[in-house]
Structure 1
């Protein structure tokens, strides 16, 4: 799973100077990039969330839409990771797989849940349609044994946690370290209390 960069604001006095630095840094990144040249338009469009550029890149690309473009991530992984809903919609319309795994064994749903992007989570679940398909995604574990619910709980995204549970995600599943989703949320947080109460009472509606 790639890690999104921080977005820092710039002071007006620094804008011109920083613009020159940004150009130099961008050129340096492109030269040293591990992303093959033919995949860079796809990766760059996904990282920027540029829907128009993504459409053009897809139109010009002759390979599979599910080809890994960066750190084993497909374009769909990246758009879910950065929370770009319009780009995710385009990719699903173009036939991108919602079950492709990155180098850490995560599917796009893991990324969307980790970022708390509930509209993307809803879209992926709606796209799956078949209840058995949805359950299979919810039960999918990455290399550390984490399910999408583990990722949502770690990020303390209560709305995503509740949505996953409503579709049958298990709050009792343990990862390779023996941790349930609730144990990945910080102590005395709303998500931690919610999940602990849920497990204790067996009621998804418990608050």
Structure 2
């Protein structure tokens, strides 16, 4: 899973360590971010959430909409990671695969849950088309054995936790380290998802058939 980065590809702490700032204190752009040149328009549009630019990039793209762009992430992964619902909607409309995995075994739903983007999570689930696909997506584990619910719990995204539980996600699934989602949530935070997970709350919703 790629990590939303500063313009130079580093996070803020790395910038401070490296001293990569211009005279106005802004981070320098790094032109070599590892994205193949022919995929750069897709990557830029996805990361900026510019749905019009994404539409143009898709129209001009020669290849599959599911081509890996960065760290094995497809353009759908990136749009979920950066939180653009309109871009996600366009990609699904164009036939993007919601079950494609990145190099860490994560599907786009993992990224949306990690970011706490409830609208994207709900859209991905509702657009799945049938209950068996929904169940499979909710149960998908990445290289660490984490389900989408693990990612939502780790990020303390209570609204996403509740949504996933209502869709049938299991709060008892253990990851590769023997941790349930509840054990990844920080009980000391104001909006802890711990209680919700331990109680298994979330009213069941009717899944697409």
TM-score by structure 2 length? Answer: 0.84
Deviation at 1:17, TM superposition (A): 4.9
| Structure with bigger gyration radius | 1
Say if 2:197 is the partner of 1:191.
Answer: no
Residue deviations 1:25-61, cap 9 Å, x none? 33xx22x232111011111111111111111110110
Deviation at 1:6, TM superposition (A): 5.3
Residue deviations 1:147-179, cap 9 Å, x none? 000000001111111111111100000000000
Q: Distance in 1 between matches of 2:4 and 2:24?
A: 20
Q: Distance in 2 between matches of 1:160 and 1:183?
A: 16
1 or 2, which has the higher helix percentage? 1
Which residue in the other structure is 1:154 paired with?
A: 154
SS at match of 2:35: coil
Q: Distance in 1 between matches of 2:198 and 2:137?
A: 23
Q: Distance in 2 between matches of 1:2 and 1:97?
A: 18
User: Of residues 18, 29, 32 in structure 1, which corresponds to 2:24?
Assistant: 18
SS at match of 2:127: helix
Instruction: Give the total of aligned pairs.
Output: 188
SS at match of 1:128: coil
Q: Distance in 2 between matches of 1:137 and 1:175?
A: 15
Which residue in the other structure is 1:64 paired with?
A: 64
Q: How does 1:1-207 map to 2 (within 5 A)?
A: 1-5=1-5, 17-18=23-24, 25-26=28-29, 29-30=30-31, 32-189=32-189, 190-198=192-200, 204=202
Q: Distance in 2 between matches of 1:87 and 1:192?
A: 31
When the two chains are superposed, the root-mean-square deviation of aligned CA atoms in Å is 1.9
Q: Distance in 1 between matches of 2:95 and 2:199?
A: 39
Q: Distance in 2 between matches of 1:116 and 1:33?
A: 25
Unaligned runs of 5+ in 1: 9-15
